[in-house]
Chains A and B, each alone.
Chain A
Amino acid sequence: AQSVAQPEDQVNVAEGNPLTVKCTYSVSGNPYLFWYVQYPNRGLQFLLKYITGDNLVKGSYGFEAEFNKSQTSFHLKKPSALVSDSALYFCAVRERGSARQLTFGSGTQLTVLP
């Protein structure tokens, strides 16, 4: 079975400071890993993915994430936060085998303070 944990329901950061949103996962074998963002009254938007290769992946809007196999983590990062980054962030995992669906974390509400 696959699972995702986002240990923080809420993350607050000042504008211009670096931000980190944490994610750990559990799967059998090697994972596909994803980050999505959800703005109020809007659907989920794809940010970035880890499939294979370089452990540091870069995505939309200046976000990046680092795959750490030994710690089974895939934390989302951005060097300098913007107020417009305030939203709900979801980490998701998928096994490489027969299971095709994503398993999502419970979400982390990011608030960037001006």
Chain B
Amino acid sequence: GAGVSQSPSNKVTEKGKDVELRCDPISGHTALYWYRQRLGQGLEFLIYFQGNSAPDKSGLPSDRFSAERTGESVSTLTIQRTQQEDSAVYLCASSLAASGERVEQFFGPGTRLTVL
């Protein structure tokens, strides 16, 4: 079946502009995650959605970052008033479950954001 998809694959924007990044998880996966990967570094957790529960926003670096998810489908990550330090690859992942045996996360190809 189809994997996690993300769009756009690349986004170049000017400092101060807003951007929206989209994630389509694997069908049937209840949990959805956003991570950020800066050049040459590991992944940083941003936000987690599970069904209709309140999202875990503990990883969002500032109030310029927000995310929404419609039910158990598409999610959008929004960055307002972008700064150069926001430049990174933004990765979305989904998992079948958040506990038990099927907790492995499957990642999309990422959106490479460049803020000029």
Number of interface residues of B (CB under 8 A): 25
A104 x B42 contact (CB < 8 A): yes
Q: What CA separation (Å) do A42 and B91 show in the bound complex?
A: 11
Q: Which residues of A contact B (CB under 8 A)?
A: 32, 34, 36, 42-46, 49, 51, 90, 92, 94, 96, 100-107
A5 to chain B, nearest CB (A): 11
Of A34, A96, A104, A105, the contact of B104 (CB 8 Å cutoff): A34
Beyond A43-B107, A46-B105, A51-B101, whether A101 also contacts B48 by CB under 8 A is yes
A46 x B106 contact (CB < 8 A): yes
Residues of B contacting A46 in the complex (Cβ-Cβ under 8 angstroms): 104-107
Q: Choose among B31, B43, B107 the residue with the greatest number of A CB atoms under 10 Å from its CB.
A: B43
Interface of A is mostly: strand
Q: What CA separation (Å) do A69 and B60 show in the bound complex?
A: 31
Of B35, B42, B91, B103, the contact of A94 (CB 8 Å cutoff): B103
B45 x A101 contact (CB < 8 A): yes
Q: What CA separation (Å) do A51 and B102 show in the bound complex?
A: 9
Q: What are 8 A-B interface contacts by the 8 Å CB criterion?
A: A34-B104, A49-B104, A51-B101, A94-B103, A96-B99, A100-B48, A101-B33, A107-B41
Q: What CA separation (Å) do A42 and B6 show in the bound complex?
A: 12
